[in-house]
């Protein structure tokens, strides 16, 4: 089974006899192969990222087909910041050494395969989640199945997982606890965080929110009110801090007016018979220089759509934007006309010449190109003001990650239809599609050795920066507690090369 777009690009799926998608074939050559157990649970997924690299993710379930663990077939590296009190050493480290010169102690590469582990109670509710950094979050429920408490365990999981409180497994204390309250029909009516800050909600008989109370730092509360019409549309919202908004609707339930009573601002909307918004007009009470308080129109936009309800034009009294699409519905060209007022310099004119403003139309046209997966691979902007031509060209891997961005200037030249190559940005990703390094050629930009912990949080990055006209390596480190809260972030500079050119 496949889908071919109007440009001829085919994306296909292969299904087994049970209807499970066992293979996805993408138009750019990408492919995802999936396997299932006898109960229809997906047990593995193999995604082709490049021609030479495939990432396999595995899934395991309990006897009730509940997802217990997500893992990678091939391990990746995770890192931890162990301490930050080391002495700063400006000596260049040996090849392969990790930035010991900035006083931060970072572990070596720790092989990681498990991404997340879930545990459930006898009712099938998820009661514990352990991430790839061995940090656990626990949940508690009421008899109706609503979460009434969540918190982070203060001790990392180091032993094989067992249910807390079962098989003599000790229950770790919880930090950053959130407590929740519900009414008889399951609406959340209150929550309190570990710092004692609280929120509460009230509802009408139809289950619509009509009130909210937020606690403020230092004491006190802010009350919010909501009002509805008989159709259930929100007609008013306000709070004790001065917010007061009124809404009006047409017979089709489309919002046609927003009135901000605090700002004296009114915005009106119009629609066509297909429900597309075709006009937007905003006016605000403004004190004029004459001393008269009048409604001044600051925005008056008109929008035009084609037969497929795609936006084709937007215009007001000073600007006009026209949009065209390719056969697959991708935006292929945007042309913008803007009327600008130019006032000549009076000093450059003869004394007997009266200086008058001139109305000049500036036009900018941007054309876009797309690959077989309808991802943007090219954009070229041409300005009528300066005649400048700016071109971007993009590349992607099979997973959809942008791997390169090249910028060009000027028109076509020999050997380059895009013009003169100015800059090249390259991006590298790991097996979890996280950026591992970034390099800009022709612009002297670089961020490499990006390291992550088991939960996917960045713990270290080394970047090239310029300070005091000298090129330096900037080291950024983050250390986290067992609860996942950031305990430290630091930055150190290390002089590398005063004449570096990339």
14/4 Cα distance (integer angstroms): 15
318 touches 338 (CB < 8 A):
yes
Give the Cβ contact number of residue 183 at 10 Å.
13
> Angle CA(444)–CA(449)–CA(453) in degrees, nearest 5?
140
261/250 Cα distance (integer angstroms): 20
How confident is the model at residue 66, as a pLDDT? 97
Burial of residue 356 (CB within 10 Å: 0-12, 13-18, 19+) is: exposed
Which residues of the chain, if any, have pLDDT below 70?
84-103, 160-170, 346, 488-502
pTM (2 d.p.)? 0.84
How confident is the model at residue 164, as a pLDDT? 55
For tokens 């239809």, the residue is 417
pLDDT tens, residue by residue, 13-40:
999 999 999 999 999 999 999 999 999 9
pLDDT tens, residue by residue, 356-395:
778 888 999 999 999 999 999 999 999 988 889 999 999 9
Q: Residue 231 region, left (φ>0) first, then alpha (ψ -120 to 50), else beta?
A: alpha
> Angle CA(165)–CA(168)–CA(174) in degrees, nearest 5?
40
For tokens 């730092």, the residue is 217
How confident is the model at residue 499, as a pLDDT? 37
30 touches 433 (CB < 8 A):
no
367/363 Cα distance (integer angstroms): 13
182/297 Cα distance (integer angstroms): 46
Between β-strands 486-497 and 331-342, what pairing exists: parallel, antiparallel or unpaired?
unpaired
Quick one: which of 449, 444, 450 has its CA closest to 465?
A: 444
Burial of residue 175 (CB within 10 Å: 0-12, 13-18, 19+) is: middle
340/342 Cα distance (integer angstroms): 6
Give the C-alpha distances (Å, rounded to integers) separating 84 from 194, 487, 490: 27, 10, 9
Tokens of 451: 């390291």
Tokens of 154: 């203060």
């Amino acid at each position: 089974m496949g889908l071919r777009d109007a440009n001829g690009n085919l994306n296909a799926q292969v299904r087994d006899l049970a209807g499970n998608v066992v293979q996805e074939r993408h138009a750019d050559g990408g492919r995802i192969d999936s396997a299932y157990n006898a109960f229809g649970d997906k047990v593995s997924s193999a995604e082709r990222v490049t021609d030479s690299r495939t990432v396999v993710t595995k899934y395991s379930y309990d006897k009730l087909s509940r997802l217990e663990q997500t893992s990678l077939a091939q391990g990746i590296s995770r890192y931890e910041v162990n301490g930050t009190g080391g002495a700063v050493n400006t000596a260049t480290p040996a090849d392969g050494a990790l930035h010991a010169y900035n006083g931060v102690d970072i572990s070596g590469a720790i092989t990681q395969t498990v991404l997340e582990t879930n545990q459930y109670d006898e009712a099938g509710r998820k009661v514990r989640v352990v991430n790839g950094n061995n940090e656990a979050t626990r949940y508690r429920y009421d008899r109706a199945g609503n979460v009434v408490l969540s918190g982070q365990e203060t001790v990392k999981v180091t032993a094989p997982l067992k249910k807390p409180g079962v098989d003599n497994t000790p229950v770790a204390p919880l930090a950053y606890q959130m407590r929740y309250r519900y009414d008889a029909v399951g609406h959340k009516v209150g929550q309190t965080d570990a710092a004692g800050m609280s929120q509460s909600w009230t509802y009408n008989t139809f289950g619509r929110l009509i009130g909210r109370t937020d606690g403020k730092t230092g004491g006190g509360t802010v009350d919010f009110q909501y009002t509805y019409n008989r159709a259930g549309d929100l007609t008013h919202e306000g709070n004790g801090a001065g917010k007061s908004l009124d809404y009006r609707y047409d017979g089709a339930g489309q919002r046609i007016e927003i009135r901000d009573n605090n700002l004296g601002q009114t915005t009106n909307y119009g629609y066509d018979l297909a429900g597309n918004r075709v006009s937007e007009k905003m006016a605000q009470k403004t004190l004029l220089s004459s001393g008269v308080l009048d409604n001044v129109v600051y925005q008056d936009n008109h929008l035009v759509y084609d037969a497929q309800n795609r936006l084709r034009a937007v215009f007001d009294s000073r600007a006009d934007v026209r949009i065209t699409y390719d056969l697959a519905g991708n935006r292929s060209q945007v042309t913008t006309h803007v009327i600008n007022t130019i006032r000549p310099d009076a000093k450059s004119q003869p004394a007997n010449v009266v200086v008058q403003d001139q109305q000049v139309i500036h036009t900018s046209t941007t054309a876009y190109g797309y690959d077989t997966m309808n991802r943007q691979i090219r954009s070229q902007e041409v300005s009528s003001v300066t005649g400048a031509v700016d071109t971007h060209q993009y590349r992607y891997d099979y997973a959809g990650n942008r791997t390169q961005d090249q910028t060009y200037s000027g028109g076509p030249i020999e050997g380059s239809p895009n013009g003169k190559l100015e800059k090249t940005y390259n991006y590298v990703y790991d097996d979890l599609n996280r950026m591992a390094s970034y390099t800009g050629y022709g612009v002297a930009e670089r961020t490499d050795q990006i390291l992550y912990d088991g939960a996917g949080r960045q713990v270290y990055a080394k970047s090239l920066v310029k300070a005091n006209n000298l090129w330096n390596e900037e080291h950024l480190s983050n250390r986290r507690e067992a609860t996942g809260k950031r305990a430290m972030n630091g930055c150190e500079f290390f002089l590398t090369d005063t004449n570096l050119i990339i």
